[in-house]
Structure 1
C-alpha cells in the first residue's frame, strides 16, 4: 500500500475529499469554509506577489489555501456522507504495510479487523467466528512509535496537550452527521477500529510517557491502549451525545452517538446480531453494550448539566482510563498509571488557578467526580454482564487477543 500526497498541502493524503486526493486537515478546512454558514472563514489574503503560500503543510493565508483548493478542483457538491471511514482510508506509515490477501483486500477494502467465518483452532466447544486483531494492533503500535506530530509549545502541560490533541482529532475527523437505520457487523467492526486508533493517537500527546525508554514506552502504552480503548470510546461517545443534546442537535432522547460522526435512534434502528450469536436480539440485548441502561442515560444528563471544558473532559477521561488500566494490569503498569494520575491532578490545579482564575474549584471537581463514579459503576456492570455471557457461551465469537474485550 503506497501513500499519495495531498494535492493541496503536499502532506500524506488520507483519501478522496470533495473530488480531490487530500489530507483530512485540508478537507476539514474546505468543509468549514464552504459547508457551514455559521462558521464562514474570513478569507482575506495576507500575501503579496510570488510569496510561498505554505511550508511543510502549514498555510499562513486562508485565502491562498482556499484558492488552491478550488484550483485543484475541490467541489462542495462532491461531499460524500460515508467517505473516509478508517477501514477505507489510505493510512500514512513510514514502512510498507504488508496485509495478507483476503477477500476484503482483493476487493479493495482493506480492514484492520479481519472477521473470519472459521473456528479458532485454540477454542474448544462449538464453532465460533474469529475476529483477528493483529493488523489493528500493528497499526496502533505504529501510531504510538511515531508519537505526536503536533507542534506544541514547550510551556504546555501534558493535560493541555492532550486536550488540544483531542479537539484536533474531533475537527479533523468531523463530517456530516450520519444517521444509521441498520447496525450490523461492518459498522461494529468499523467503530471498534475507530476507538482503538483514536485511543492510541490520543495517548501520544502524554509527554510523561516519553521519559520512558522507547521500547518500554511503546510496550506499556500499548498495554494501556488495549485495556482502555473501549472505555475511551464509551466515555467519548457519552460526552458527545450530551454535547449534541445541549446544542439541540439531538431533540430525541433515544438518539446516541455510536462512532465518528455516526448516530442511531435506539428505538428505531435494526440491529443485526446474527454474525456473533445464535440467539435473537431480544434474547442477547441484556448482555450487549446497549442503550437500555438507565445509568448510561443518567451519565449523559450529568454531562449536559456539567458542560465540561475540553481540558476538564480530558482530565475526567484520563482519570477513568488510567484507573482502569492500573486495576487491570497491576505491577509496573499500575505504578506508571498512579504516577500519571498524580501528574494530571496537579496540572488540573494549575489550570484552574492560572487559566480559569478559579481558586475555589472544589464544587466543580465534585460534579466531575460524580460523573466519573457513575462511569465506573456502569463499566463494572458491563464487565459483569460480559463475564456472564462468556460463562454461558452466549456469543459465537472469539478474538485473537481476548484480553482486549474484557
Structure 2
C-alpha cells in the first residue's frame, strides 16, 4: 500500500482528534508531504515549490528587526520562515506533484469529456430534457466532504489563510499567453464541457471555507448553484488581467480557460440548443458581456488587487448573492461573515500593507462587488425571458445551475 508520505494529497486515515499542524498549530487534517499539517500549510508548501517562490521570499522580521514566529496566532505569517519551517519538519519538494490535475474526476465521461448524460427525453413540442445527474452527483460529492466541527476561534484564524490559499491556487494552473489557443468559435456542447470543469473547481474552492462547511448538505448545494457561474466569470476576468494587462480591456482579450483565449469577435454556436439564428442569441448575451469588461475589468485593472483582496471580493460577492437568494439562515450567516471579512481585511492592511488610510480603496473594492451583483441580476432576468419565450429547445434536469 502506498505510504502517506508519497503523495501531496490528504492521508486516507484522519489524524487522531486534537492533533495539531506541525507548522502553525492549527488542527491537522492528515499527512501532507510526509508531515502532519493543516490544509493551508500544505497548500502553501505546494504553491511555493510549483511556482518556485522560495527564492523570491524575503524575511519580514529581518526587514523590521523582529523575530518571526510561525503560528496560527499570526494571521499574516512570514512566508520565508513558514517555508523554512515546512522543510525543517520534513516536507520535501520530491513529493510535490507538478502536473497534478486539480479537477480529476472518477465519474464516467463521454468522449467529449462531459459528465452530462447525453440521453435526452422528449418533452413534447420538439423540446428535450438534458440529464445532468452525473454532474450534480460529482458536485455534491465534493460539497459534502466531511470535516471536523470547528469552533469560532479556530474558524476565524483559518479564514484569512484559507482565503489567500484559495486565491493563489487559481494562479497555479494558468498557462503563459504564448502557450494558449486563440478561439474564434466554439460549439455550445464544448462550452458546457469547459463550464463543467470550472464548476468542479468552484465547488472545491467553496468547500475549503470554514463558514461554508457550517451549512447543511442541501444548503451547500443550493449556495453552489446560486453563485458558481458569477464566481467563475469574476475569477476569469481577474485572471485575464493578470495574463494580458491592458489588452484585456482594450481589445477584450479574455482567458476563457487556463489554455484558451477569446476576443470580442468570439462566438458560441448555439444551434444544438435553439432554432433561432445564432447572431440573435449572440446579441442577447453580448450586452452583458460588454458590461462586464466595462464595469468589472476596467476597475480591476486600475486596482490590481492582491490575492487577499481578490479572495475578499469573491467571498463578499458569494455570501451576499447567496444570502439574498436563499434568505433565512444563510442571510444571517452572510451578515456575520461580511463583518469578519472586513475585520480580516483591516488587519491585513495594517500588518501586511502597513496602510492605515485604506477607506477609499475599500470603497472601490466594494463598488466592484456591487457591480457584479447588479450584472448577476440583469443576466438572470435575460435568461428568465429566454425561458418564458422558449428561445431554447432544451431543458436541463438541474435548471438552476445555469440561471446566472
* Same fold, judged at TM 0.5 (above): yes
Cα distance in structure 1, aligned partners of 2:394 and 2:169: 35
Cα distance in structure 1, aligned partners of 2:165 and 2:263: 30
Cα distance in structure 2, aligned partners of 1:30 and 1:178: 27
Q: Is 1:394–2:391 an aligned residue pair? A: yes
Return the match for 1:317 from 314, 321, 329.
314
Do the aligned partners of residues 292 and 158 (structure 1) sit closer, same or farther apart at CA in structure 2, a change above 3 Å counting? closer
Residue 41 of structure 1, CA deviation: 7.6
Superposition map of 1:196-207 within 5 A: 196-207=199-210
**Residue-by-residue CA offset, 1:60-86 (whole Å, 9 max, x unaligned):** 444x569x99xxxx9xxxxxxxx9695
Residue equivalent to 1:329 = 326
**Residue-by-residue CA offset, 1:224-279 (whole Å, 9 max, x unaligned):** 11110111111111212222232x67596131122233221221x35311011111
Cα distance in structure 2, aligned partners of 1:270 and 1:169: 25
Residue equivalent to 1:36 = none
Residue equivalent to 2:72 = none
Instruction: Give aligned pairs, total.
Output: 332
1:115–1:129: 8 Å Cα contact kept in structure 2?
A: no
Q: Is 1:208–2:206 an aligned residue pair? A: no
> What secondary structure, in the 3-state scheme, does the structure 2 residue paired with 1:234 have?
helix
Q: Is 1:187–2:186 an aligned residue pair? A: no
Cα distance in structure 1, aligned partners of 2:346 and 2:49: 38
**Ranges in structure 1 where 5+ consecutive residues have no aligned partner:** 13-23, 34-38, 43-54, 75-82, 92-96
| TM-score (norm: length of structure 1) | 0.69
Residue 296 of structure 1, CA deviation: 3.2
Superposition map of 1:173-322 within 5 A: 176-210=179-213, 212=214, 216-246=215-245, 253-267=251-265, 269-288=266-285, 292-322=289-319
**Residue-by-residue CA offset, 1:44-74 (whole Å, 9 max, x unaligned):** xxxxxxxxxxx9xx98444x569x99xxxx9
1:178–1:263: 8 Å Cα contact kept in structure 2?
A: yes
Do the aligned partners of residues 26 and 333 (structure 1) sit closer, same or farther apart at CA in structure 2, a change above 3 Å counting? closer
Cα distance in structure 2, aligned partners of 1:240 and 1:285: 24
Do the aligned partners of residues 293 and 181 (structure 1) sit closer, same or farther apart at CA in structure 2, a change above 3 Å counting? closer
| TM-score (norm: length of structure 2) | 0.69
> What secondary structure, in the 3-state scheme, does the structure 1 residue paired with 2:254 have?
strand
Q: Is 1:377–2:380 an aligned residue pair? A: no
Residue equivalent to 2:348 = 351
2:130–2:396: 8 Å Cα contact kept in structure 1?
A: yes
2:143–2:207: 8 Å Cα contact kept in structure 1?
A: yes
Cα distance in structure 1, aligned partners of 2:102 and 2:393: 27
Residue 174 of structure 1, CA deviation: 5.3
Do the aligned partners of residues 346 and 27 (structure 1) sit closer, same or farther apart at CA in structure 2, a change above 3 Å counting? closer
Residue equivalent to 1:365 = 362
Cα RMSD after superposing both structures? 3.9
1:148–1:201: 8 Å Cα contact kept in structure 2?
A: no
Q: Is 1:146–2:149 an aligned residue pair? A: no
Superposition map of 1:98-113 within 5 A: 105=110, 111-113=114-116
Residue equivalent to 2:172 = 171
Do the aligned partners of residues 342 and 225 (structure 1) sit closer, same or farther apart at CA in structure 2, a change above 3 Å counting? same
Residue 343 of structure 1, CA deviation: 2.1
**Larger mean Cα displacement after TM superposition, 335-344 or 307-316:** 335-344
> What secondary structure, in the 3-state scheme, does the structure 1 residue paired with 2:216 have?
helix
2:168–2:307: 8 Å Cα contact kept in structure 1?
A: yes
Do the aligned partners of residues 319 and 28 (structure 1) sit closer, same or farther apart at CA in structure 2, a change above 3 Å counting? closer
